[in-house]
Structure 1
Amino acid sequence: MSYFLGEYECKLDTKGRMVLPAALKRQMPDVEREGLVVNRGLEEHLVIYTRSEWNKIMDELSRLNQFERKSREFIRKFMRGATELSLDAAGRVLIPKSLQAYAGITSEVVLASQFDKIEVWSKANYDEQWEDEGDDFASLAEEVMGNLRRKENEQ
């Protein structure tokens, strides 16, 4: 399995279109044939998936028990706003207005690679996350990765 790599700053035009950066597009050789899916993230951002990754998520969701209220509620909330994206002749994708509003995107965005997906943040919201980083990252790394190593050693 290959993962996306990189962080890219982009701008939306007045119609809400964004040029997919060439370096990112090279990491998705089948994007023009398969297309992409954009959806709401769990925080105030968007997430872009390749069609094949989206289908894997749909397979997982289809295994949830839809007779359980929490499963139905999660599926509805997760699927809300999911939209298929396709590249136009100029290599642009159109981000729906409703999703732009959800993520607080006006013009400038940051595309942040996250394994098999790409997070789309308004530049202001993305930059805000890093203002008071300080020693928090070291503590977070110790807590998350340290616990992972401990669990691996216990097994």
Structure 2
Amino acid sequence: MFMGEYRHTVDSKGRLIIPAKFRDILGPQFVITRGMDGCLFGYPLTEWNNLEEKLRQLPLTKKNARAFVRFFYSAATECEFDKQGRINIPKTLRTHAALNKKCVVVGVSNRFEIWSEERWSEFSDNVEENFDEIAEDMMDIDF
């Protein structure tokens, strides 16, 4: 399980250190792609394969399903670590997530997310202000 919040820096070549705890879970190869809310999503290959199976079930006749799958897959890339535990994030993904320098790597159960520090601060401040309401709304979801 991925959890925690880690601050790192993207260098001029687009390389980012992934926390050692996450590297242990990810193994030698994993996938990153565009995420929601202006961040990137990272998946171990087993989770990526599970997600891929679910996405295959989406109906091709639905315009939004086709759009989502295209957008999600078009930027997906397999990653490997270098000797320093860094990955190279392609320009397309850095642009999507506005990754310029300071980043936050966040564990979110079966995936991790990569945020620009600015976007993460905005997001987390908003959630913190509304946490009680969000928690109350979650009670309506059947688990």
Question: TM-score, structure 1 length as denominator?
Answer: 0.83
Runs of 4+ in 1 over 6 A off after TM superposition: none
**1:21-40: CA deviation from partner (whole Å, max 9, x where unpaired):** 123223x1x511xx011100
Residues 5-31 of structure 1: CA deviation (Å, up to 9, x unaligned): 2111111111011111123223x1x51
Q: Which moved more, 1:75-84 or 1:132-141?
A: 132-141
Name the larger-Rg structure: 1
Counterparts of 1:5-154 in structure 2, within 5 Å, are 5-26=3-24, 28=25, 31-32=27-28, 35-133=29-127, 135-144=129-138, 146-148=139-141, 151=142
Structure 2 unaligned blocks of 5 or more:
none
Distance 1:77 1:20 in 2: 24
The share of aligned pairs that are identical, in percent, is: 30
What TM-score, normalized by structure 2, do the two folds share?
0.89
- The size of the alignment, in residue pairs, is 143
* SS of equivalent to 1:111: strand
Opposite residue 76 of structure 1, the aligned amino acid is R
Gaps of 5+ in 1: none
The 2-side partners of 1:119 and 1:125 are apart by: 12
Q: By how many angstroms is 1:134 displaced?
A: 5.5
2:79 is matched by which residue type in structure 1?
L
Bigger relative CO (Cα 8 Å, ≥ 6 apart): 2
SS in structure 2 at match of 1:142:
helix
Greater percentage in strand? 2
After superposition, give the CA deviation of every residue in 1:59-92 in whole Å (9 maximum; x if it has no partner).
1112223244333222112212111111112221
- SS of 1:43's partner is helix
| 1:135 to 1:107, Cα distance in 2 relative to 1, 3 A | closer
Quote how far apart the aligned CAs of 1:105 are: 0.8
